[in-house]
Amino acid sequence: MIWGLIGTAFERPTTKDFVWSCWFGKSPWCYNFIFFLLTIVFVTFLLLFWLAFRDPKIVPGKFQYVMESGMEFVRQQVVLSMIGPEGAPFFALLATFFFFILLGNLLEVTPFIMFPLNSRLAFPLVLAVISWVTYNTVGIRRHGFLGYMKLVMFPPGAPWWMYVLLAPIEFISVILVRPLTLSVRLFANMVAGHFLLAVFFLGSIALFTGIPYAFGLVSFGMGIVLLVFELFVAVLQAFIFSVLSASYIAGAMAAEH
C-alpha cells in the first residue's frame, strides 16, 4: 500500500554500476569512463606538483604552502615515524602512493563524477604489488634471501617448539596475504562508500517524487552526512595505505636479533 505512494521505483545499486562500456576502442583495451578518471587523476597529479614546485620560493605562496605541508605530512607521519631517517629513499614512492590514492579517492565526492577510481580492484592491486615488490626487494638486499626468509619466518622471542606453527603462518601472512589485504582494504572501502552514497541519494530521489517528502529529506540529509564521512575515509585510506607500505618496508629493513 505504501509502495503505491512512492512515485519512482527505487533503483537498487548493484555491482553492475561499476562496469562501464567502451567509449572507443575494442573491448579488452579500450578507453572508457574508468580510463577517463585515470587520465583526470594523472593530469591533476602532474599539474599540482608542476605548478607548486616548478619555481619554488623561499617564502612560499599559498599554493606552494599547501603542497609543501602535504609533502611534509607524508614525510613526518609516514616516513619518519614508521621507518626513521633511513627511509629517505622511499619518500618519493610513499608520497606518490599517498597523493595518487588521495586524488583517486576524492573523485568519489567530486560533483558530476561521484565515482572513486580505486573502486576498481585493478588500481589498488597494482599499487599493492608495487609495495610488495619494494619491501621484498629491500629485505632480500639487506639480509640476503635466506636471511630475509629467516627474518620473516622465525620472529625472535618465541619458544622453539612454537616455530612449527609460527613459521608457516608468518610466511603466509607476510608474503601471500599482505598484498591481498592491502589492496582489498582500499578497494572494499571505496566500493562500500559508493554503495552507501548511491543507496541514500537514489533513495531520496525515489522518496522525493512520491508523497512522503519527509522521508526523502531525512534520506538526503543522511546522504550529506555520509558525503562528509566519505571525504574523511578518502584521506584516511590514502594515509593507511602509505603508512602500512612504510611499516612493511621498515619490517623488512629491521636488524637481525
Partner 1 sequence: MVGLAIHLAGLLAATLGTPIGKGLVYGLAAIGPGIGIGILMGKSVEAMARQPEAAGIVRGTMFIGIGLIEALALFGFVLSFIIT
Amino acid at the residue 186: L
Would you call 32 helix, strand, or coil by DSSP? Answer: strand
Q: Residue 18 CB, nearest distance to partner 1 (Å)?
A: 10
Q: Which residue has the cell 607521519?
A: 77
75 binds partner 1 (CB under 8 A): no
Nearer to partner 1, 110 or 181 (CB): 181
80 binds partner 1 (CB under 8 A): no
* Residues 163, 160: Cα–Cα separation, whole Å: 6
Residue selected from 137, 236, 254, 256 as contacting partner 1 according to rule CB under 8 A: 236
Site for partner 1 in 179-218 (CB under 8 A): 181, 184-185, 187-189, 191-192
Q: Residue 47 CB, nearest distance to partner 1 (Å)?
A: 29
Nearer to partner 1, 90 or 239 (CB): 239
Nearer to partner 1, 34 or 80 (CB): 80
Nearer to partner 1, 52 or 238 (CB): 238
* Residues 138, 3: Cα–Cα separation, whole Å: 60
* Residues 207, 218: Cα–Cα separation, whole Å: 10
Q: Residue 115 CB, nearest distance to partner 1 (Å)?
A: 17
Residue selected from 32, 44, 64, 77 as contacting partner 1 according to rule CB under 8 A: 77
Q: Residue 127 CB, nearest distance to partner 1 (Å)?
A: 15
Q: 195: closest CA among 256, 114, 124, 125?
A: 114
Helix axes 122-153, 91-106, angle to 10 degrees: 140
Q: DSSP string spanning 109-154?
A: GSTTT---GGGSTHHHHHHHHHHHHHHHHHHHHHHHHHHHHHHHH-
Q: Residue 182 CB, nearest distance to partner 1 (Å)?
A: 8
- How far is C-alpha 237 from the chain's CA centre? 5
Q: Residue 81 CB, nearest distance to partner 1 (Å)?
A: 7
Q: Report the chain's terminal Cα–Cα distance, integer Å.
A: 71
102 binds partner 1 (CB under 8 A): no
Handedness of CA 183, 188, 193, 194 (dihedral sign): positive
13 binds partner 1 (CB under 8 A): no
Q: Residue 24 CB, nearest distance to partner 1 (Å)?
A: 29
Nearer to partner 1, 140 or 240 (CB): 240
* Residues 1, 45: Cα–Cα separation, whole Å: 52
247 binds partner 1 (CB under 8 A): yes
Beta-bridge mates of residue 31: 24
71 binds partner 1 (CB under 8 A): no
Count of Cβ atoms closer than 10 Å to residue 72 Cβ: 10
Nearer to partner 1, 60 or 170 (CB): 170
Q: Under the rule (CB under 8 A), what is the footprint of partner 1?
A: 15, 77, 81, 181, 184-185, 187-189, 191-192, 236-237, 239-240, 243-244, 247
